[in-house]
Amino acid sequence: LGVDTIPVLIGPVSYLLLSKPAKGVEKTFSLLSLLPKILPIYKEVIAELKAAGALWIQFDEPTLVLDLDSHQLQAFTAAYAELETTLSGLNVLIETYFADLTAEAYKTLTELKGVTAYGLDLVRGTQTIDLIKSNFPKGKYLFAGVVDGRNIWANDLASSLSTLQALEAVVGKDKLVVSTSCSLLHTAVDLVNETKLDDEIKSWLAFAAQKVVEVNAIAKALAGQKDEAFFTANASAQASRKSSPRVTNEAVQKAAAALKGSDHRRATNVTARLDSQQKKLNLPVLPTTTIGSFPQTLELRRVRREYKANKISEDDYVKAIKEEIKKVVDLQEELDIDVLVHGEPELKLCREMIWLSTLVSNYLVLLSLLTDGCNLMGLAASSHQSSTVMLAAPNQ
């Protein structure tokens, strides 16, 4: 295809730290003790990639953002020192994501042998920006992850550009690369396929294809080729999303603003609550229950499909839901379950105030949800009067 690609491998240390020992292995066994055994394999792969014409190679080391001890951090130093000769002649990018680096991890990363560039998540790694500003190695590249690769929202281009301009003075204009915070495999593919969304919602979103466009637009702006129309449209969309009544509610905002510290704490301590609960319910020491959701049966799906198609009335639909609840409650009583659930046959019957929920072809976007209990409690009680169906409303 004539496209210069960068092969990506999980880094050797993260490969081991994210692995699990086989069953029967002693608990004292250290996964990092296998490092000398896997590094020769990495050398073989690197040599093959180099022979195939690779100019860059990327190692993902996501465990660098974890709370690592000195022994684990030393493993990174040892691994890349061992690989340095094999990596000679290649540009080497070490990528981390999903969180901030600790000062110790940042120091370890920036001192690794044979490394050309560092890819850092600057969306969730906001404190990492301070580490970069305080000390960034000269002559190295920074792949600045300012476009969020984990969500479906359009980037705030002006904010990202401002962040990069501040970093440019530290890293160097020719060493700063605009990037996503992580791989784009976490988001949907292309917004162009969504033909049923209205223009306002669509302006708020960016799937993988659109995020690539955002990266390109920010990079051009950083180079002095800013697309003013694109940035203006983006700013309007950002403002729209923040102020739209479809995602904001004045009553909720006032209620949230009025909350006091005491509102986040129970009026009674846990011992008193447990005592009260036990007097009310008389549960055994280890009560049995289920996860709450029972399978969505073929019959239940058929009824829902017919209701959506207006082939059955709402009364018939509610009757079917009640029958399903009775069925799962009967089953739980037969199995002598202590704490019963309704089985969640129809979540849409919950009293939810959804300010905006829109279903796109390949992705569910739930912008804001305020739940006020669930009237399935009433349905369950009316469908099975003899049972004690316990449901905890979300706000209780």
Determine the structural domain holding residue 135 and report its residue range.
8-243
First and final C-alpha spacing in the chain: 58
CATH number of the domain residue 146 falls in: 3.20.20.210
Q: Are residues 310 and 369 in the same domain?
A: yes
Q: Are residues 238 and 294 in the same domain?
A: no
Q: Are residues 161 and 301 in the same domain?
A: no
pLDDT tens for 64-91 read 999 999 999 999 999 999 999 999 999 9
For residue 305, tell me if it sits in a domain. Answer: yes
Overall number of domains in the chain: 2
pLDDT tens for 147-161 read 999 999 999 999 999
Q: Are residues 190 and 130 in the same domain?
A: yes
For residue 309, tell me if it sits in a domain. Answer: yes
Q: Are residues 111 and 190 in the same domain?
A: yes
Domain stop point among 198, 217, 243: 243
Domain stop point among 243, 260, 285: 243
Q: Are residues 230 and 104 in the same domain?
A: yes
Going from the first residue of the chain to its last (396 residues), give the mean pLDDT of each consecutive group of 10, the final group possibly shorter.
Answer: 88 97 89 97 97 96 96 98 97 97 97 97 94 96 97 97 96 96 94 90 96 98 97 97 86 89 86 90 90 87 91 93 92 93 73 45 42 41 38 32
Asked if 221 and 227 count as a contact pair (C-beta separation under 8 A), the reply is yes
pTM of the model: 0.71
Q: Are residues 154 and 224 in the same domain?
A: yes
Q: Are residues 24 and 146 in the same domain?
A: yes
Residues 6+ apart with CB under 8 A from 157: 214, 217, 218, 221, 230, 231, 234, 235
Is residue 209 packed enough to be buried (19+ CB in 10 Å), middle (13-18) or exposed (0-12)? middle
| pLDDT score of 32 | 96
Q: How far is CA 156 from the centre of its chain?
A: 18
